[in-house]
Structure 1
C-alpha cells in the first residue's frame, strides 16, 4: 500500500513538471513557490529555466517557478541611466539581437532589444525582452530570489527597487564575487550573502583553512557557491569532505552551481542524502544545487526521496 501511495505521489509530481501543466498567479497576481521539507536539498533555478528557455527572461522565470523549486537565481546589472535589469553579460552580444555594453544603453534603448537568444532557440521566443528588476519583482512578488550582483555600486539601486516594489529583503539572497563586496553589504536585511567567485581557491590557498572560513563569515559571507566542476572534478574525495565538514561546523551553507545533466544532478543529490563521497561518509552536507534544469532536478529529488522512504 505504501509503495502504491508513493507511486501516486510521484506521478503527481511528474505531471506538475510537464509542459502545459496548469498554473496560475495567486490572488495578488504574483507567482509563489511550493514549500518543501526544509531538510531537503534546496533547488535553485539558474537564470530561470535556462536549459529550455532564454536565460534571465520572464518566460524562463515563470517556467522555473512552475516546477516548485525553492529559489530562482538571476543576474543583475544596471543601465546607463541606473535602471537595474536582469542580464548576465556586461554586453548584449551573446543573448540579444543587439550589440554593445549595457552601460552604454539607457533603459529606453533596451525596449527595442530582444532577448530570445536566437542562436539557441531560433525564433521560438523572439518577443522576449530584457526585463527590469522592478518588472520582475512586480510579476513574481512571492518568489524567493538569489540575485547575483556584479558591481557593489548596483546594490543601492537594487535595494531602492525592492523598497519601491514592497518586496521584502529577507526573501532575497545576494551572491557576490568578493568578500570586499559582501562586507560592503553588511547591515542590509537580506536573507544571506553567498560568495561566488572561486571560494575553494582562496580556501585551499590559506594556511589556516578554518580561520579563513571564520574570517569570511565575519566579513558577512553566509555561504558559498562552488562549481560542480570544481567540487566533483578537481577536488579529491578527502578534500571535498574536509571542506564540507568545516563549512558545516561554521554553519556556512554550500551551494553546488552548474549540474545540468541527470547524472550530475543525481550525483550531487545522492551525496546530500547519504553523506557519501566514494565509500567514505562525511557529516558535512551541502545546502542546494543551482541548476539550469530545475524541472529535472525536482523529478530526481522526488525519485530519491521516494526510494529513501521505501
Structure 2
C-alpha cells in the first residue's frame, strides 16, 4: 500500500477614491487616465425610460429613472440583463453603486460577456448569509449556471447602497464589496478571454449608479504562476460513480482504480455496531422507511443496498466498518467520516481491533466535537474537519482556522465551490492539509491541483488518476 504522502499530513471604496489612486499611479497624467477609463456613467444626462447610448437590454426590465439605472423583474424567476461596452475588454475593473430595493432573488455583475462564449458573473443573493450567498459563476443566458466559487457573509442589503466591483486580470476573476475582496477564482481561462460588461437581476429590483469601468495592466508572470504538486485521490464513498455507495463493491472498484485512499460514511446500528451508510434513513439506498440506528445489525444485513444502482448489484449488503477495513487493508487508506456525534469510541475500537498501522486511516467529520473526542482517544490518528459554509471575511476565516487548530485537526475539508486559493494557502501556512469534495470533472481536478489542494474526493477514481498525473 502506498503511504499517505507527507504533504497530506501537514502539521467602502467608491469610484472617486479609486480614480484618485489610479491618478497617483499614472506618470502620463490626465491624458493617460482618460485612456484607462472606458465607462464613467452616472445617468444624469439620460432621459427617464431610456438607456445610455450603446447599452442594450434585450429582455427589457432595465431603464433610467431619475438619475439612476433601475433593474427589476417583469415576471417571476425571469432573468433580465443589460449589457454595455466593447467585446475586446479583457483586463478590466468594473464597479458600481448597487442598492437592493425589494425581492428575494439575486443581482449579478457580468464580465467578459460575448455572444459566442460563456462569460463570468459575480452573483449577490438577497440573503448573502446562505452558503452560496455570493457566487462567481458562468454567465451564459439560457444555459445552466456553472458555479466556480461561493462564500457567505453578514451583509445588510435591503435599502443599503454598496460599492460592488469585479476585476478580470488574466485568468483571475475577483469580486469586491465596499473595497473588500469577497471572492476570487483563477479559472477565468475556462470562460471567454474578453468581452463586454453588464448587470443581471432575477427576482429582485435594484438601483444602480456611478458605473465605472477602467483598464488594468496585464498580470505579471508571478501572478500567473501556480504550484504543481500532485494531490492525494480519495474514492468518495468508494467508487460510487460506478457502484452502489458505501458498499464492498464500491470499495473493490476503488482498490482496482489504484488511488491512494477511499472515503466512507459510518453510523451505528441499534446494537451499536459501526456500519457504512451515508444517510440517517435507509429509504434512499434500501427502500426502507427506517433509520439505520433503529435496526440491529442482523436486520440491516438482510437489506439490499445495491439494486437501486442497477440489477448487477442486486443483493449487495450493508458492510460493517470491520469488513471494509479488512477489504482495503494493505491496499489503500480508509478515510472514515463519522456522521453522528457520540459514536467515536465504537468506531475507534473497531479500527484498533483491525490492527491499523500509521497511515492506514484518517477520520473525517463535520462536527468539531467529534474531532476533539477522537484526538483525545487516539492522538496519532489524523483528523480532518469538514466545513460546508466558508465565510468571505478574512477575520472569520482566521477564526475558523484557529478553531481547527484548537481542536487538534490535521486538515480541513471543503466542498469544491468553496475551494478558494487564499483560504487554501492560509490553511497550509498554519500547517493544515486541505481536502475538497466532490471532484468529478477534469477541469476541476486540474484547477485544484494548480492551487495546491492536498486531497481530492471523487466518485470517479478510475478517471481521476488520469486527470492529475
TM bin, normalised by shorter chain, reads 0.7 to 0.9
TM-score by length of 1: 0.73
1:243 aligned partner: 423
Q: How many residues align?
A: 246
Please state if 1:294 is matched with 2:461: yes
Contact 2:259/2:465, CA 8 A, preserved across alignment: yes
In 1, distance between residues paired with 2:358 and 2:303?
29
**Aligned pairs (5 A) from 1:142-291:** 142=330, 143-168=332-357, 170-187=359-376, 188-198=378-388, 200-201=390-391, 204=392, 207=395, 209-231=397-419, 240-269=420-449, 271-272=450-451, 285-291=452-458
Contact 2:286/2:304, CA 8 A, preserved across alignment: yes
Contact 1:33/1:69, CA 8 A, preserved across alignment: no
Which structure shows the bigger proportion of residues in helix conformation?
A: 1
Indicate which of 98, 110, 123 corresponds to 2:311: 123
Instruction: Give the Å deviation of 1:98.
Output: 2.8
Instruction: Give the Å deviation of 1:225.
Output: 0.9
Instruction: Give the Å deviation of 1:33.
Output: 5.1
Instruction: Give the Å deviation of 1:145.
Output: 0.8
Which deviations, in whole Å up to 9, do the C-alpha atoms of 1:5-45 show, x marking residues without a partner?
A: xxxxxxxxxxxxxxxxxxxxxxxxxxx45888965211011
In 1, distance between residues paired with 2:443 and 2:251?
24
In 2, distance between residues paired with 1:169 and 1:105?
33
3-state SS of the aligned residue for 1:152? coil
In 1, distance between residues paired with 2:447 and 2:266?
30
**Aligned pairs (5 A) from 1:5-24:** none
3-state SS of the aligned residue for 2:234? strand
Which deviations, in whole Å up to 9, do the C-alpha atoms of 1:148-191 show, x marking residues without a partner?
A: 00123211111111222222365211111122221222231444
Which deviations, in whole Å up to 9, do the C-alpha atoms of 1:72-115 show, x marking residues without a partner?
A: 00000000000100110001111124331111100000121011
Which structure shows the bigger proportion of residues in strand conformation?
A: 2
In 2, distance between residues paired with 1:259 and 1:68?
17
How much is the aligned-residue C-alpha RMSD, in angstroms? Answer: 2.2
